[in-house]
Amino acid sequence: MKLWGGRFTKETNQLVHNFNASLSFDQKFFEEDIDGSIAHVTMLARQGILTEEDKTAIINGLNGIREDIKSGALAIDEEHEDIHSFVEAHLTERIGEAGKRLHTGRSRNDQVALDMKLYTRKEIKEMDSLLKALLKSLLRIIKENTDTIMPGFTHLQKAQPITLAHHMGAYFEMFKRDRSRLHDIYERMNYCPLGSGALAGTTYPLDRDYTASLLDFYGPSLNSMDAVSDRDYLIEFCSAMSIIMMHLSRFCEEIIIWNTNEYQFIEIDDSYSTGSSIMPQKKNPDIAELIRGKSGRVYGSLTSLLTTMKGLSLAYNKDMQEDKEFAFDAIDTTKGCIVLFHGMLDTLTFRKENMRKSAEGGFTNATDAADYLVSHGVAFRDAHGIVGQLVLYCIDKNISLSEMSLEEYKAVSPVFENDIYDAISMETCVSKRNTVGAPGPEAMAQVIGIYEEYLKE
């Protein structure tokens, strides 16, 4: 059934129908379409625009359709243009005349704007809870590893010793910001477009505040032209998902590096690894690589949506139908990646001895050796030069700073005493760093307390 056949004298060309149709993908929000229609008729009846009998018949009919689609009794066939036409056609088929009154004071433009918002709102909440679950696992790893020493890197070169807890804490911060971005989007988007009509509102005395409250919106949207053509919240959501994917991708990159034979900082569980068809020894980090790869796909959705919306005159244009596949794909991809990543992270083995050994090599304590000299009265710039000489000496001898004898130290600077060894031990390097946000135990304890409170909310 068509919702608009009246003024036409010819049948639609089949290719045109296929090209124009969105049912193959907008069926994803059939429940939101039904929820929106129920709120709409509830309001219409309250306003005296529809009789109570019609309202009841429509609501029962819609709930029947919902159940039948869910159970598979009602198949969504391709004959209809979109989910709105599909539901309305089946409603009229089931309840007769009353079904034809459902669309009073409504256009598909405000209807689709509503459905998409309801769907997005639900997905934002779901994504937020997936991120929260991931953060709980991260916090567990943080708490278990406040004294697991590893090298911290800059330029992928060993820099200073840190702890695994501190490293994981960086990702905790990233995913925490991701949640706050989702929250912001929700707050901004949560205004109800229904009642905006095609673009200019309607002449019926709709109670838009009531409809908005029935659907848990903060209130009605305030400009009907904007309401039917606003897709900002989808662009923002795709942007937030792109950032989530960027964070996952960075984390995956580290997992891939740490899992190499050269690093051996971690071992990905067999259940999250794959093998090679030719090389029997291989155990590949495919899941981490795929998540990293899929970030490109989500960025693609963002770029596509921005490009689709660019240059569209007010108000609704059919171009906007393209929003759905981009958004749905980005949502499904991002959710899938969070879940897979979470599973992989939960089953990782951290090879703590290897991390520690790696931290001990590579002169990660050179800054602390310089700080030792400074605390004994040497100017930092001179201290920097002296430790530079020590490093050169060690490289030549193929030893670490802690393997030098006191005589060797004294030969470069008489300031060194026996307590240098304690000053440059990995434990000292980490435990002395207690400024807020640093890896030292006091600093970490404070932050862990904040994270625990945050996850209780």
Neighbouring residues of 222: CB distance < 8 A, sequence distance ≥ 6: 191
Select 138 or 305, whichever has its Cβ closest to ligand ARG. 305
Minimum CB distance to ligand ARG smaller for 175 or for 328: 328
To the query of whether residue 71 is one of the catalytic residues in this protein, the response is no
Number of residues that bind ligand ARG (CB under 6 A): 10
Selecting among 155, 271, 277, 405, the annotated active-site residue is: 155
CA–CA dist 418, 432 (Å, integer): 19
Measured from the Cβ of residue 24, the count of other Cβ atoms closer than 10 Å reads 12
d(CA 327, CA 333): 10
Choices 40-48, 318-326, 366-374, 432-440 (CB under 6 A): range interacting with ligand ARG: 318-326
* Closer residue to ligand ARG, CB minimum distance, 234 or 369: 234
Site residues for ligand ARG, window 104-123 (CB under 6 A)?
A: 108-109, 112
CA distances from 20 to 79, 228, 321 (A): 12, 19, 9
Piece of 314-322, 356-364, 375-383, 403-411 that binds ligand ARG (CB under 6 A): 314-322
Q: Does the protein bind ligand ARG through residue 321 (CB under 6 A)?
A: yes
9-68 residues in contact with ligand ARG (CB under 6 A) are: 22, 26
Q: Which x/- pattern, by CB under 6 A, does the window 62-101 give for ligand ARG?
A: --------------------x-------------------
Part of the chain binding ligand ARG (CB under 6 A), chosen from 232-240, 264-272, 288-296, 312-320:
312-320
DSSP secondary structure, 116-162, as one string: HHHHHHHHHHHHHHHHHHHHHHHHHHHHHTTT-EEEEEETTEEEEEE
**Amino acid residing at 443:** A
Confirm whether 155 is a catalytic residue: yes
Smallest separation (angstroms) from ligand ARG to the CB of 82: 4
Query: Applying CB under 6 A, which of residues 235, 266, 320, 401 lies at the interface with ligand ARG?
Result: 320
Q: Which of 171, 316, 341, 372 binds ligand ARG (CB under 6 A)?
A: 316
CA distance 117 to 327: 11
The burial class, CB within 10 Å (0-12 / 13-18 / 19+), for 74 is middle
229 binds ligand ARG (CB under 6 A): no
Alpha helices in 347-405 (DSSP H): 352-360, 366-375, 380-397
Q: How many CA atoms lie within 13 A of 194 on its CB side?
A: 36
Q: Are 288 and 344 contacting, i.e. CB atoms less than 8 angstroms apart?
A: yes
Hey, how many other C-beta atoms are within 10 angstroms of the C-beta on 297? Answer: 15
Q: Does 327 bind ligand ARG (CB under 6 A)?
A: no
The contact set with ligand ARG (CB under 6 A) reads 22, 26, 82, 108-109, 112, 316, 318, 320-321
Residues taking part in catalysis? 155, 276
